[in-house]
Structure 1
Amino acid sequence: MDRPLQMDQHSLVTAWKEQLPTTMDDGESFRVLADDGNRSSLLIHFDAAGHQAYSLDFRCTYVDSREVAVDLLDVEQSGRHTDERTEAVQQLAQRYTRQIHECAQALQGLTNP
């Protein structure tokens, strides 16, 4: 049976900040913030490694205590909005989406006790 997320948002953000680096490559950085508009969502910002200077923003929403929905919100290159349909951006978006899902899966012991 699907159960709603019971974990408070502050604890969830802390757990994600600790777990997410284990899925990332060297040189990449990220920020995890609470989504003030939805207590079941997190806002995750990635700065990609390399000379392309891409940054991607995602919303990760807990559908229930085990499953997350991931939405790409924004893509920037060197601080400017850029087309998210390019192959390079699509590859980054897919990789970060996979990392978000891996992190959510690793945290199921906390989110789905």
Structure 2
Amino acid sequence: MTDKAKLYFTEEHEWVEIVNDTLVRIGISDYAVEQLGDIVFVELPEADTDLGAGDEFATVESVKSTSEIYAPVGGAVARVNDALEDEPEKLNESPFEDGWLIELNVSADIDVSGLMDAGAYDDYVSSL
């Protein structure tokens, strides 16, 4: 189980988990999933796609709306969560574990200084 306290968050509700010195996993928060409602489709990028911080990389469609997802950090797509293609509801069921979106190869100096830790994110969400 992913420890939410070890994640970093954006104001757009994406999260980043530092897997190791050169790999991060990215997804969307439980708050984002709750706002979207039942997710019915997820479009993810191809492996080896280069992303800059802030680049749109995915689309998540729910019964309520469609949302674009942006990369909190830059890197090359190492792996996508192919399970979401057939089971997009994994995002609703487990946004921090089975519902991750992509993994990125990043440089060894991962910059998360512009992101919120879990406590700051919880405070941010409670102010919305």
The structure with higher relative contact order (CA 8 Å, sep 6+) is 2
Task: Return the index of the structure with the highest Cα Rg.
Answer: 1
Shorter chain as normaliser: what TM range? Answer: 0.3 to 0.5
Kindly indicate which of the two structures has a greater share of residues assigned to strand. 2
